[in-house]
Every structure is written in C-alpha cells, then in structure tokens.
Amino acid sequence: MKLVVDAIITGILTGSIYALMASGLTLIFGVMDIINVGQGALVILGAYLSYYLEQNFHIDLFVGLLITMPAMFLLGVVLEWAFIRPIKRDRTTLSILITFAIALIIEGLLGIFFTNNVVQLQAWYVTASLQVGDFYLAYVYIFGFILSVVLLGGLYLLLYRTKFGFSLLASMQDRTSAQLIGIDVERVSAITFGIGVALAAAGGMAYGATFAFNPGSLYDLISRLLVIIILGGMGSLRGALIASLGMLVIEDVTSVLWSPVWATTVFFVLLIVIMVVRPQGLFGRLEARKQ
C-alpha cells in the first residue's frame, strides 16, 4: 500500500513535468493547427542546454532556465518564421513532416556535440531527498512540481488576463475571424510557437534532472506527449494537464503493481479505449467541417 501511495505521489510530480511539455504542444496545435512532432527533440535540446551551462559555467539548473528559456523562445520564433510560415497549403500535414525533419536535425546535432552517451543533470537537490512521514521524496521532484505550477500559472494569467492572451484565444477559436478583427495572427503564431518551445526547455530541464537521457530519448518523449495530447483532446490545455497527471500516475502504479516493462503499454491500452469510446479525447471538440 505504501508503495502504491508512493507511486501516486511520484506520478503526480513527474506528471506535472510532462504537463509543461504537453501544454506547449497542445497550445501550438490549438492556435496554429500545427502538430509539432519536434517537441520531443526540443525538450531534449533544453535538457542539454541546461547540462551544458551546468557543466561548463556551473550555473544552477533553475537559474539556468533564465538563459535557456529566452534562448529557446527565440529559437521557436525563428523556427516558426523560417519553416512553418512558408507552408501555404496543407499546413497540418506538411508541418508534421517539417517538424519531424527538424527533430532529426536536432538529434543529429546533439549526437555530434554531446555524443550518444546517457547523461543526467547534476545538482545537490537531485540526490538529496525530503522525508515526509514514511516517504522519501527527492527535492528535484518537488522543485520540478513547483516550477510547473509557477509556469503553468503564469501561462494561465498570460492567456486569460492579458490582451495578448485574448488575441491568442481568438486566433485559437477562429483564425480567419481573428484576422478580420485586426489581430496580427502571424505575430501571435510566432509568439505561441516561441512559448511552446520555451516550455519545452523548462520541461527538458526538469526531465533531465529526474531521468537519464541521450539524444535518442526524444522518440520515447514524443510518443508519450502525443498520446497525452490525444487523450486530453487536441488543443485543450485543461485536457493536457489532466491527461499528463493521469497517465503518469497510472504508469507508476502499474510498474509497482505489475512490472515496469509493461508500464508504457498501459498508455497504448488507454489510448485504444479512449479512441473507441471518445474519439475526440477527454476535452476535445469534435473536428468540425473545414471549408
């Protein structure tokens, strides 16, 4: 029983990290109708940037985010401008292929610069843990959870309390109408993509501190992230949050009760069940007819 409770707590804490990455992905889809298959690669890139800063300049991982997140935001804006904006027709399909290509290039570059050896981010809070009653929790999980709460709270305020947020939500609802009432949808798209990539950087740091990774980890990550956003409903932030917490809790509980080998397979079974019962995901809207 203790193990199960432990697994649930770990699941919620790691789930919050996945929520960071998945919210970036689902936000980009909601606004731009673009599925950023490169999100997994960008997460790993963020993790390696934190690793680089920590190894070479001894910058603390969380302080390093002040550098990596703006840098990744800029990278996102550039990627959007250079590769996504030129697509004129068949945006969704072509964007998947293009972001897949970007992921391959990032994987290749990371392999050259950092080799394919598995690394993990180092800091005092990665190894130290906090004792609460009978439970031991590594500080990094708690800090990661706080980071997710702060960033997602900030995202919430940005979306629902600022003028930019309103124009973003308007573009999400209807791109053409948003354009007609004078919203610069292209600018909103670029910034959204940047935000999504910056969230990937933050998620990458937390991921890299809790799991060992190498450039090939992006495949594992992107498959989980895709399942999460399908389950939550494409384009639904709330769905992405609930799905990532739910999935990670279920995965951790499965690995305790059954076997870690089959934990990821639970993703598959859940995906099938949800697709059969509710094809639009938990919080998704049915895809309306597009003219």
Site residues (vs another protein, CB under 8 A): 29, 33, 35, 37, 83, 86-90, 92-94, 96-98, 100-105, 107-112, 115-116, 219-220, 222-223, 226-227, 229-230, 234, 261-262, 264-265, 267-268, 271-272, 275-276, 279-281, 287, 289
Rank residues 194 and 233 by Cβ distance to another protein and give the closer one. 233
- The residue (of 12 and 263) whose beta carbon lies closer to another protein is 263
Buried-exposed string 158-176: b where 16+ CB fall within 10 A, e elsewhere: ebeeeeebebbebbbeebe
Shortest distance in whole angstroms from residue 94 CB to another protein: 6
Residue 109 vs 142, nearer CB to another protein: 109
In the complex, minimum distance from the CB of residue 230 to another protein, in angstroms, rounded to a whole number: 6
Phi, psi angle pair for 56, to nearest 5°: -95, -30
Q: Which is nearer to another protein, 79 or 147 (by Cβ)?
A: 79
By C-beta, is 180 or 272 nearer to another protein?
272
Amino acid at 289: R
Q: What is the smallest separation between the CB atom of 72 and another protein, expressed in angstroms?
A: 19
Residue at token pair 């890139």: 45
Least distance from C-beta 275 to another protein, angstroms?
Answer: 5
Pick 32 or 168: Cβ nearer another protein: 32
Minimum CB distance to another protein, residue 215 (Å)? 8
Min dist CB 228 to another protein, Å, is: 10
Output the smallest distance, CB 142 to another protein, in A: 30
**CB closer to another protein out of 13 and 226:** 226
**CA–CA dist 271, 279 (Å, integer):** 10
Only one residue has tokens 């639904």, namely 236
